[in-house]
Amino acid sequence: MRLFTYQDQNKNKSVGLLRSPESSEFIDICASDTSLSKSLLDIIAEQGAMDKVAQLAKTSNAVVKNIKDVTFLPVIENPSKIICLGLNYADHAAEGGHATPEYPSFFMRGASSLVGHNAPMIRPKVSEKFDYEAELAFVIGKKARHLTRDNALDYVAGYSAFNDGSLRDYQRKTSQWTIGKNFDGTGAFGPWLVTPDELPKGASGLRIQSRLNGQIMQDANTKLFLCDVVHTLVLLSEVMTLEPGDVVITGTPGGVGHARKPPVWMKAGDIIEIEIEGVGLLSNPIVDEN
């Protein structure tokens, strides 16, 4: 299933279920079953709700709409945690002058930094060094602590695409990267959540690209993760309780703008695309902060 959070032309929020990967039609699951929440986070968290959604995909009585009539919102609008991995591809670590880490470089994002598919990513007034990062995201499906390699994937609700837009000069103002990763409107998330049954185990072996104005900038594969989805879940759940709707961003491959000579920065008028095989295409225009 491919589920997304959206707003209609009357500013009403709901959750959609794409009828097929190639379809422009979707099922408004909240209009089709009024017992379902209009929050995808709540649907993931509520026991049995995802089963109801799966049944809607099979019924002929569902409310069907066209995707061109909606505004995409971040897949999960207000996750309790957004946990990001840095240096999770060896080539990206090397291009930034870092050794391959023995333990992932974890940092956090805030929900105020998120935007949806097709929404503008905002280059702030204080910096021109706005960089792209193509990343696979996954969403936690149920409360988790002390997971093992054997059960970790049972706690994944689905996968999505993410652009971890980074202000490189601010990222390097401190030894922690958080300040350069949390400007408003710099983290694109979407277009939808793809349930694990649609993808290879642990979303491994998927081609991942970024394209700036149509030019391929990053081109890699999720099989190259230094810390795969399973190991990431084991490490995180060793430390903290993961909750339904929490988002984990898995790091970017080599080819980012700051490592190029000369550097390439996103600017107003650009279009940045992140595409992950089997997951989807996340596209966003770049605008300057007002």
What pLDDT tens digit does each residue of the chain (290 aa) get?
Answer: 999 999 999 999 999 999 888 889 999 999 999 999 999 999 999 999 999 999 998 888 899 999 999 999 999 999 999 999 988 988 887 787 777 888 999 999 999 999 999 999 999 999 999 999 999 999 999 999 999 999 999 999 999 999 999 999 999 998 888 999 999 999 999 999 999 999 999 999 999 999 999 999 999 999 999 999 999 999 999 999 999 999 999 999 999 999 999 999 999 999 999 999 999 999 999 999 99
What SS3 class is residue 248? strand
The sign of the CA dihedral 23, 69, 117, 58 is: negative
Residues 134 and 155 in one domain: yes
What SS3 class is residue 156? strand
Flag whether 200 is in a domain.
yes
Residues 36 and 171 in one domain: no
CATH number at residue 233: 3.90.850.10
Residues 246 and 170 in one domain: yes
CA dihedral 121, 123, 128, 132 (to 10 degrees): -20
The sign of the CA dihedral 235, 239, 242, 246 is: negative
Residues 106 and 33 in one domain: no
Element holding 30 (H helix, E strand):
helix 29-32
Contact predicate 141/3, CB 8 Å? no
Q: What is the predicted pLDDT for the residue at 123? A: 98
Residues 57 and 130 in one domain: no
Residues 35 and 91 in one domain: no
Q: What is the predicted pLDDT for the residue at 286? A: 98
Cα–Cα nearest to 88, from 175, 208, 190: 208
Q: In the structure encoding, which two tokens stand for residue 5, read together?
A: 């959070």
Asked which of 52, 72, 92 is the last residue of a domain, the reply is 72
What does each C-alpha distance from 145 to 103, 152, 234 come to in angstroms? Answer: 19, 10, 9
Question: Model-level pTM greater than 0.75?
Answer: yes
Residues 161 and 264 in one domain: yes
Structural domain range at position 37: 2-72
Per the structure, how many domains does the chain have? 2
Q: What is the predicted pLDDT for the residue at 110? A: 97
Radius of gyration of the chain, Cα coordinates, nearest whole angstrom: 18
Q: What is the predicted pLDDT for the residue at 51? A: 95
Residues 116 and 24 in one domain: no
Flag whether 77 is in a domain.
no
Flag whether 139 is in a domain.
yes
Q: What is the predicted pLDDT for the residue at 20? A: 85
Asked which of 72, 97, 119 is the last residue of a domain, the reply is 72
Residues 238 and 110 in one domain: yes
Flag whether 169 is in a domain.
yes
